[in-house]
Structure 1
Amino acid sequence: MDALNPMASPDPAALRLSGALPDWNPEADDALIVRAIREETPDVKTFVLAPKDPCVFRYQPGQFLTLDLNIGGESINRCYTIASAPTRPHTISITVKRVPGGPVSNFLHDNIRVGSVLHAVGPMGDFSCFAQGTPSPSPKYLFLSGGSGITPLMSMARSFHDLAEPRDLIFVHAARSPVDIVFRNELELMARNQPDSFRFAPICEADSPREPWHGLRGRLNLGLLNHIAPDYKEREIFVCGPAPFMAAVREMLKTAGFDMSRHHEESFDFAELAKAEPEVAAEVEIAEGVQAVQEALAPGVTTYTIEFAKQKRSIECRSDMFVLDAARRAGVRLPSSCAKGLCGTCKSKLISGTVDMKHGGGIRQREIDAGMALLCCSKPTSDLVVDR
């Protein structure tokens, strides 16, 4: 207590530095206060979050949070990779690129202010060079990022930097122009701080209106990669970016004879969520054939009716099939991302009916008790009515 005022409350900053704080538990309180907002580029912002009551975040660099948002009266879940490092555990940050027409990114950019409250679950995910099961530690890394896909790799790089780990790390980032290089100043500072172990190599496709680009130009290709990291075949490679970027890198490395067991990429693309739509006709045609074979092999499996109340659509779903898979095959559009029960994007209210759900942490027990389910990992055990 304050010596001059024995009734004064403890200083929150002093509490956070006391070293005796509990871990953040979203099951107990999922509310996070926006402590700061930073403009990284003209269309990218970082939101720095902290719990209402002092506690610390525990996570692996590269993991993500799932935000639970209410936008226009509709509940929307959206995943964002954590950009901060667990070496600074008192706050956690997400970095969001504004997507034209994207309901969530535009809501965050236009409506969230310092002091706003966001609700989140997590952290989750296994894309990390620090995670169990990866071949880490490796003495040499190559990070390849494109656009807003820089965030999980930034979390890993920040962690190495804070820990002063003696790792040889080359960080290659592809951007449209100099003004679009996310975290540019910080990455350049990290390179100055660790000249013997950290190299930052941005690649731009074009000049900015007020800044001509004199660095590496174009799109990442094998020629540029050999120039930047001639020893890339000796490195552990982590890749994140838009789906076309990751596919191009994958093909480039395969063509070059790279040992793909040392290639790691984010398994689902959060940035594509707003644009994701099933390839309806092809999937329905394939599904009908698959279902006929399945029914012949397992004639005793029950088929249930799934009604999507808001879309006024009804489909059939076998008891050995996930609801999300059946919906996609029938051409019903539903939000989804990981398809592993992790991210919470497909979380939906069951108006009636029951399911067998085997999730990976993307839903809280109180939500299950309230009748919510993750459609990607739920098999029907009765007819269902879903609030979608």
Structure 2
Amino acid sequence: MIPMPGRDTPVWTDSELLECVSVLPEAPEVKTFTFRPPSGATFLYKAGQFITLDLPVPGGNVQRTYTISSSPLTNAYICVTVKAQPGSVGTRWMLDNLQPGMRLKAYGPAGLFHLPANPDGKYLFISAGSGVTPMMSMATTLFERGEEPDICFIQCANRPVELIFRKKLEHIASRVNGLQLHFVVNRSDPYEVWTGYRGYFNQLMLGLMCNDYLERDVYCCGPEGFMDTVREILNALGYDMDRYHQESFEAPAETKAELTEFDDVVPQEDAQAQIVFANSQVSAWCSETDTVLAVAKDAGLNIPSGCTFGVCGTCKVKKLSGEVHMVHSGGISDDDVEAGYILACCSNPIGTVEVEI
């Protein structure tokens, strides 16, 4: 054990097994497991970090990393909240077999995705599915500091019943003014009323939920495709990506060398592009930050349009060649995109682009 200066209670190290002391169902195929060291040692970690559990599955032990969902300010125990995915091995074993009284080998805590040492800023937490677990730890930590936090918390799930920690978050929000909750689901539960946001998270929703997002530090966690979408939205809206932080389900980073380098396409104002309107036999030079719709209007061409936010789909046109950067808000289907269609109002040309206008 490592004694802490000025304290009699030692800090847990991974030389000691952890004992499961409680199991709490959270949502379908989701449970929270609470662990304590038998010695009574306390935990030292940062909100958002993860721990690695050595799980005795049939056929041989496997190691799996799980974000700690509890707050480091309550350091007598740690919680991990796990969700089984198709093909899960370690998580499946935990859900089916792990009970209070059982002891596991564990390693950590570790990870670079966490709150700063002095978390006094304004935060935007965006999560999907079990990606809410580090956000729960962060939000609880900011709440337990005893000061009024400033958090816009956006959680996405397939159905309302799959919104992990919903009741706990609503309880915290009822005790402070600085936690603003927004839930997004793809579809409602049968025979249950849902009055919140419905659909896939998009830039229009972001503006309605958190109109001061440019002033906030963003923390994002969820499936890789979801996080790609969030980055596209923020890039398109001119957000300072140096203030963006994300975790990954696949490989949480333990060192700076392991941090993901994003190869996102971001239209540049000083980069020249060209749009060829094939049916009209007109071409126009422009910047990558111009939209196809704006360039068409400047060239005297009419593309029917409505919302100009990528919602209504009125400005859908066929792209014949070239590449565009399109960040829409649900106004076009995946099948249409696969077939070569774009929404002119939210598509930026990259290089030379030809459209059927």
**Within 5 A, what are the aligned runs for 1:9-48?**
20-26=8-14, 28-29=15-16, 31-48=17-34
Secondary structure of the corresponding residue to residue 170 of structure 2 = helix
- Alignment-derived partner of residue 53 in structure 1: 39
Verify the 8 A CA contact 1:64 1:81 in the aligned structure 2: yes
1:48 deviates by 0.4
What are the residue-to-residue correspondences of 1:366-385 with 2, within 5 Å? none
Per-residue deviation at 1:341? 10
For residue 211 of structure 1, report the CA deviation from its aligned partner. 1.7
Change (3 A) 1:20 1:340: closer
1:213 paired to 2:194: yes
Aligned to 1:237, which of 210, 218, 222? Answer: 218
Q: Which residue of 2 aligns with 1:76?
A: 62
Indicate conservation of the 8 Å contact 1:146/1:242, yes or no.
yes
Q: For residues 332-361 of structure 1, what are the alpha-carbon distances to aligned partners after superposition, in whole Å with 9 as ceiling and x for unaligned? A: xxxx76585999xxxxxxxxxxxxxxxxxx
CA deviation vs aligned residue, 1:215-239 (integer Å, no higher than 9, x gap)? 1111111100000001111111110
Give me the identity figure in percent.
38
- The answer to whether structure 1 residue 269 and structure 2 residue 252 are counterparts is no
- Name the residue aligned to 2:73: 87
Tell whether 2:176 aligns with 1:194.
yes
Partner of 1:181: 163
Partners of 1:20 and 1:210 in 2: CA distance? 54
Partner secondary structure for residue 61 of structure 2: strand
Runs (4 or more) in structure 1 with deviation over 3 Å come to: 336-343
Deviation at 1:168, TM superposition (A): 1.2
SS at match of 1:129: coil
Give the corresponding residue for 2:206: 225
Residues 1:224 and 1:140: Cα distance change in structure 2 (over 3 Å): same
Q: Is the 8 A contact 2:66 2:80 kept in 1?
A: yes
For structure 1, the 5+ residue unaligned runs are 1-18, 271-335, 344-388
Tell me if structure 1 keeps the 8 A contact 2:50–2:108: yes
Q: Which residue of 2 aligns with 1:145?
A: 127
CA distance in 2, matches of 1:108, 1:151: 17
SS at 2:35 equivalent: strand
Which residue in 2 is equivalent to 1:96? 82
3-state DSSP of counterpart to 2:183: strand
Judge conservation of contact 1:177–1:204 (CA < 8 Å) in 2. yes
Alignment of 1:317-356 (within 5 A): 338=253
Provide the alpha-carbon RMSD of the alignment.
Answer: 1.9
Instruction: Give the structure with the higher percent helix.
Output: 1
Which amino acid in the other structure matches residue 167 of structure 2?
N
Deviations 1:190-248 (A, max 9, x none): 111002x1111111111112423111111111100000001111111110111111110
Task: Kindly tell me the number of residue pairs found equivalent between the two proteins.
Answer: 252
**SS of residue matched to 2:194:** coil
Q: Which runs of 5+ in 2 are unaligned?
A: 1-6, 259-357
2:124 partner SS: strand
Stretch of structure 1 that moved more, 64-73 or 255-264: 64-73
Deviation at 1:52, TM superposition (A): 1.1
- The secondary structure found in structure 2 opposite 1:145 is strand
Cα contact 1:177–1:213 (8 A) shared by 2: no
Aligned counterpart, 2:104: 118
